[in-house]
Amino acid sequence: RWYTEFDKGVFALEKKTRPGRPRETRTEENVARVKRLVEDNPRMTTRQVAAEVSLPSTTVFRLLAEDLGLRNLLSVLVPHHLSESNKMQRVKCCQDLLKLFQDHGEDFLGYHLLVKDESWFYWDSAERRQVWAEPTGARFSTPRAKQTARKTMILMGFTCKPRRVSITALPAGTTTDRNTMIEYLRTTGKRFLSLKKDKIRLKDCLLMWDNARPHTATDTREFLTRRDVEPVKQSPYLPDLNLCDRFLFRKLKHLLREDEFGGHEEATLAVQRAMRR
C-alpha cells in the first residue's frame, strides 16, 4: 500500500482524515469533550453523553470510569443549606449523641432506641439523583420534589434489635399536625405492648426524631412528659443524623424509585411490602 502511495508521489506519513467512525475512540479529544459535558451537567446519563459526542454508550462509560476516574453516585438530598449557627448546633448534637451512646451502651440503644419520622411517598417515579463525580470530590445535592397532590404521607417508627416497626399512612391529601403525632405515638405504644415477643412500653423507649413542628408542639411535648418518654435532642436540619432519613427512607425510596402508583392505597401497600423485603 505504501509503495502505491509513493508511486503516486504521495510521501506524507500521517494518516488522512476520512469519514466514518474512527477505529480508536478513546482519544484525549474525546476524553476532554466528555469531561466538559459532565462538568456542565453531572446528571447526564451515559446515553445522553453518547448522543452528544456521537460515541457508543459503552465507550462513553469507559471514558468516564477509566479515563476520568468518575463514579456514578447519588447526590446528597438536603432540605436546607446550614448556616454557621446550624453547624455549631450540629456539632453539639453529635457530642450529645456520642455521650448518650457512652452512657447507655450499644445493647441499650439497639433495644430501646425508637427512631421515628414521616415522609412523603410520591406516586410518580422520582427525579434521577445519580451524577458522575470524582471519587474524592464534593458530593452534589438535589432539591426535594415540588409539592404535589399525587403523594402519600407515611409515618414510621422502628427499633433496631429486636426489630419492631410501626407504620401509619395518613388519609390522602392530609399531612401531620400535633394531633396526628400524638395519636400515632399512642397507637405505636399499643402496638409495641401487644407484641407476642419483645414487648416494650413507650416510656422505656428513647425517642429519636427531628425538630418538625408537630414533634415540638406544646401538646406533643406535654404528651411525652405525661408518658415519661425521653426524646433525643436534635438540632435543626439534620436529616443525616436521623436514621429514618439516612437509612430507612432512603432504602425504601430506592426500592420504589421506578414504580408509579395509581393512588393512595396502592402507594401505601407498596411501602408495606417493601418493608417486608
Whether the per-residue pLDDT at 21 is higher than 70: the answer is no
More confident residue, 169 or 8: 169
Q: What is the pTM of this model?
A: 0.60
Angle (deg, nearest 10), helices 218-226 and 178-193: 20
The predicted model gives 118-144 an average pLDDT of: 74
pLDDT in tens, 232-247: 877 777 656 777 877 7
Cell 417486608 belongs to residue: 276
Q: Are 205 and 111 in contact (CB under 8 A)?
A: no
Alpha helix locations (H) across the chain?
2-7, 28-40, 46-53, 57-62, 84-112, 178-193, 213-216, 218-226, 243, 249-255, 264-275
Candidate ranges 10-19, 23-32, 198-207; pick with highest mean pLDDT: 198-207
How far is the C-alpha of 76 from the C-alpha of 80, rounded, in Å? Answer: 11
- List of domains in the chain: 2-69 (no CATH), 78-275 (3.30.420.10)
| Residue 122: pLDDT over 80 | yes
CA–CA gap between residue 25 and residue 18 (Å, rounded) = 14
Band of residue 31 on the pLDDT scale cut at 50, 70, 90 = very high
